Amino acid sequence: MHIDIAEAQELIKNNKLQEALQLYLSIDPLEMDYEEQFTIASDIGFIFYELGYYQEAIDYLLQALTIEFTDNGSVNRMLGFAYKHLNNYDLAAEYLEEAVHLLTNENEKNVCKFELARLLMLLEDFLLAEQYFKDILPFFKGKPSDYYGSSLYYLGQINIMKRAEDIADEYFNELVKLENKPHQAHAFFGKLFIANFNQDGEQMLDLAAKVMALQPDFYERETITYFTVKAYQYLNDRVTYEAALKQFIDLYPEGKYKSEYEQLKNHVFKVTEI
């Protein structure tokens, strides 16, 4: 390996990315063999990616792929991540899928499958996403990472969208067993959707309380508040419903459930005969 390449890679290891970039840009790639040209282009792409210059990263990573040296999957993987940052999900999925085929390290391959599956959910290809999540479950089960729990949660959500509530509930029950508070909060949040389908107001209030007790800063507070309003509707509790609905609209006047506000305001409650 050329001495300047070795020096640049040492700078990268020490997180001196700007120095490594300047050194790489001073090298004439035409004086290098194909492997060295590939290393320079892919490393520059990596540096630009780490610095947040995703288009520049893509330019160099694509250049690396044109060089007659075989990628082991790392360049395609980084191209996928870079395109995802630029919201080009179709190309991101294309390169991550290629990376999955090329990567030989089992951990790297399965992490890549996880990221590809999440991307496929953004593309609403839920069936293919489900296949990838199912595929990686055995590998990550019992390992000290969040991939197993996160995959269970996504599989539960996919089955909710398929209206396969029983299967979804099985995934959420498995998630509860992990005894990890964030994972358990997500499990109970997933169960909220099932309880909403069943119009089980008491269970919805119980599940919402469990989510907030486990993770007070849960990222989907708006949806939890929405489900709380719906729970009082199902319980035919007009007084509490109206108070909860007012608070909900005050908190989220331009929220994602805004299109339902008028319908919620005009809900007709059943008259209870004495």
Is residue 241 a contact partner of residue 211, using CB atoms and an 8 Å limit?
no
Residue 68 has a pLDDT of: 78
The string of pLDDT tens digits covering residues 62-100 is 999 999 778 889 999 999 999 999 999 999 999 999 999
CA of 199: how far to CAs of 147, 156, 202, in Å?
Answer: 31, 19, 9
The stretch 214-228 carries a mean pLDDT of: 97
What Rg, from alpha-carbon coordinates, does the chain have? Answer: 25
The string of pLDDT tens digits covering residues 130-169 is 999 999 999 999 998 899 999 999 999 999 999 999 999 9
CA of 256: how far to CAs of 118, 126, 221, 236, in Å?
Answer: 22, 22, 12, 24
Residue 251 has a pLDDT of: 97
Residue with tokens 């009082």: 232
Domain ranges of the chain: 1-104, 106-178, 202-274
Residue 244 scores a pLDDT above 90: yes
Residue 71 has a pLDDT of: 83
Residue 243 scores a pLDDT above 80: yes
CATH architecture observed for domain 106-178: Alpha Horseshoe (1.25)
The string of pLDDT tens digits covering residues 21-49 is 999 999 988 888 999 999 999 999 999 99
Is residue 104 a contact partner of residue 114, using CB atoms and an 8 Å limit?
no
Task: Output phi, psi for 211, to 5 deg.
Answer: -60, -50
Q: Distance between CA atoms of 236 and 83, rounded to whole angstroms?
A: 48
The string of pLDDT tens digits covering residues 9-19 is 999 999 999 99
Q: Distance between CA atoms of 47 and 58, rounded to whole angstroms?
A: 11
Residue 273 scores a pLDDT above 70: no
> 1-104 with 106-178: one CATH topology?
yes
Question: Read out DSSP for 41-55?
Answer: HHHHHHHHHHTT-HH
- The predicted model scores a pTM of 0.89
Which one of 3.90.1300.10, 1.25.40.10, 3.40.50.2020, 3.60.15.10 gives the CATH number of domain 1-104?
Answer: 1.25.40.10
The string of pLDDT tens digits covering residues 95-120 is 999 999 999 999 999 999 999 999 99
Q: Looking only at Cα atoms, what is the longest distance across the chain?
A: 93
